[in-house]
Amino acid sequence: MGLDTTHGAYNGGYMGFNSFRRAVATAAGVNYPPHENPLVCSDGDIIVDPSDRMIYVPGKIGEFKEKNPGLAAFLFSNDCEGEFSPDLCKKMADEIGLLIPKIQNQFFDIAKKYVAGCQLAYENNETLVYH
């Protein structure tokens, strides 16, 4: 059992995907569960995602989502099903792509593959689907 996506963006276990999301979140300055220190973002807002995870973002959540629509969609979406429009895929690819240099662990190649999948969906004017 795991997460499969269209366009080859990600195919693997849910735990691995959430660890990947945490690596991307950390690179973006977001405190994603499990929280090592929830007070790191105590001057920000908290969002509870569809899986009841508390995610701490710097500043106000509305501003974060407005400035980072692709990253917000990636971080706050359900990890077992969902659809992302071609335009949103472009935003996810651009915003996550900027963070790749900050991802210096085993998730570096996964991030590049995810971005490539988002770009492919955008270029083909197709919806990227989690299933």
Question: How do the domains of the chain map onto residue ranges?
Answer: 3-130
Rounded to whole angstroms, how far apart are CA atoms 31 and 11?
A: 24
Q: What is the pTM of this model?
A: 0.84
Tens digit of pLDDT at every position of the chain (131 positions): 689 999 999 999 988 998 899 899 889 888 766 555 544 444 455 555 545 556 666 667 778 888 999 998 998 888 778 899 999 999 999 999 999 999 978 899 999 999 999 999 999 999 999 98
Question: What pLDDT, in 10s, does the model give residues 53-62?
Answer: 566 666 677 7
